[in-house]
Structure 1
Amino acid sequence: MNDADEVRATALDYFEGWYDADLARVDSALHPRLVKRSVDQVGGRDTGATTKERMLELVRAGAGLEDRTDDPIEITVVDVHRDIASAVVRSAQYREYLHLLRTPDGWQVVNAFWQLTDPDDEVGK
């Protein structure tokens, strides 16, 4: 597998793991120092950020199960440069821009910036 394929596989572990409440997949995909923010978190409504620990709590609680659809998850690897990469993920509910780092454990998501695909949808707000 080349780097772009490995980045794509990591993004799928993150998203499919979320939708399937698969803790192992999400855990392996996220870097311990993950910073995940939504437009609202940057825009002033909520100034916090979501950590890896919080994401794993949400996965344990099955929070992504209600988001699950049969719609495809589209992943575009924008760039890979040595040990860093950028990807865009498009799913039925979310658009996420990911920054990834190559670690001894493989590629992991370090930064995620997301917005709902339907601004009238209240999921995640």
Structure 2
Amino acid sequence: MIFQISDFGVSIFASALFLNAIALAQTTSPDDNSAITKTALDYIEGWYTGDAARMERALHPELAKRMISTDPKTGRSQFDHMGAMTLVQRTRDGGGKKTPPDRQLKEIKILDRYNNAAVVKIVASDWIDYLEMGKFNGDWKIINVLWELKPKPATQ
């Protein structure tokens, strides 16, 4: 049995290959990976240094930063929520400056990225952040943060 592919079929196939190549190129841009890392650094270094402008530059205005904690009275899980402006104000107030420079851990890892979306993990001094970022008007911004405190070190 012989299959014939029309010129139209060849052009459709070639177009599909071309579009696939573009999609792959969009998902692996080193420039975007650099910009994502820079946004994560603005966030964590801005926190540690009390640089509110740097923190604000990293955040989308509608940021939701959340942590699941346990209510000590009821033992039930609850959401602790913070918006962008609260986080910027806490940065301005110097909340992160309380962490001594030798403990200011900032391990950044891009866990996944596709087109205009990325998930980044930051291992910090006393907590771990999972950042969800989006590319808005050409700039990477943090949209959501889910974070968890690390266990306190045992005292001797």
Same fold (TM over 0.5): yes
CA contact (8 A) 2:109 2:120 kept: yes
CA contact (8 A) 2:68 2:77 kept: no
- State the AA in 2 paired with 1:92: S
Runs of 5+ unmatched residues, structure 2: 1-29
Task: String of CA shifts for 1:66-102, please: whole Å, max 9, x gaps.
Answer: 0243344111101111111001001121201010010
Q: Which of the pair is proportionally richer in helix?
A: 2
Instruction: Give me the TM-score of the superposition, normalised by structure 1.
Output: 0.85
Name the count of aligned residue pairs: 120
Q: For the residues of structure 1 that align with 2:69 and 2:153, how far apart are their CA atoms?
A: 14
Once superposed, which parts of structure 1, at least 4 consecutive aligned residues long, lie more than 4 Å away? Answer: 43-46
Aligned CA-pair RMSD: 2.2
Q: For the residues of structure 2 that align with 1:50 and 1:113, how far apart are their CA atoms?
A: 11
Instruction: Give me the TM-score of the superposition, normalised by structure 2.
Output: 0.69
Runs of 5+ unmatched residues, structure 1: none
Query: 1 or 2 for the larger relative contact order (CA 8 Å, sep ≥6)?
Result: 1
Q: How far did 1:3 drift? A: 1.1
Q: What is the aligned-residue identity percentage? A: 29
The aligned runs of 1:55-94 (5 Å cut-off) are 55-71=87-103, 72-94=105-127
Question: Could you tell me which residue of structure 2 aligns to residue 20 of structure 1?
Answer: 49
